[in-house]
Amino acid sequence: MKPDWDKLAEEYAGSTNVLIADVDCTQAGKSLCDKHGVQGYPTIKTFGPGDDEGEKYEGDRSLDALKKHAASLGPTCGLEHKEMCSPQQLVDLEKFAAMSPERRNGRLVKLQNALKVQQREHDQLEVELKQRFEASKKHLEDLQKKYNPIIKLIRAATPAA
């Protein structure tokens, strides 16, 4: 992936809207990676203006897919780019802009916390399912070891027609 990422960074080197960068999470960038919850490598995250959390990119890692994703970045619906908002987004944007900073921040924290709770539940379910899968796989392998020799003998005892 690294060569494709470097090519993408070269293509966007002069962009005023999109920055393609990489961070070494084992060296000087470790604190930045910790801050943004990067646990596995390589991790691709997209950040918009004022976005401290970032959004994890889970798509294909080919150069073409990365180019397509990068092309979708840049200015989006916001107070500085209302022309990029759908009618419903504009209504919501105006509603959020009219809120006090405290209320807006409270709403943001509430939504982010709801996502974190769901992510933890999802991660826990993933662990449980992996454990069940491994137990089932072991049980199947044990049955195969036990039954396959008997199946062979039964087939061997069956006269050819």
Which residues contact residue 18 at a Cβ distance below 8 angstroms, ignoring those fewer than 6 apart?
12, 70, 73, 74
How confident is the model over 44-60, as a mean pLDDT? Answer: 81
Tokens for 44? 């691709």
pLDDT in tens, 25-48: 888 888 888 888 888 778 888 887
Contact 4, 66 (CB under 8 A): yes
Which of 47, 25, 21 is closest to 34 using CA atoms?
25
Query: pLDDT confidence of 59, banded at 50, 70, 90?
Result: confident
Place of tokens 């759908």: 86
Name the DSSP letter for residue 158. S
- Domains, the chain, in order of start with CATH, read 1-79 (3.40.30.10)
How confident is the model over 39-68, as a mean pLDDT? Answer: 83
Assess whether pLDDT exceeds 80 at residue 50: no
With a pLDDT cut of 90, the percent of the chain lying above it is: 47
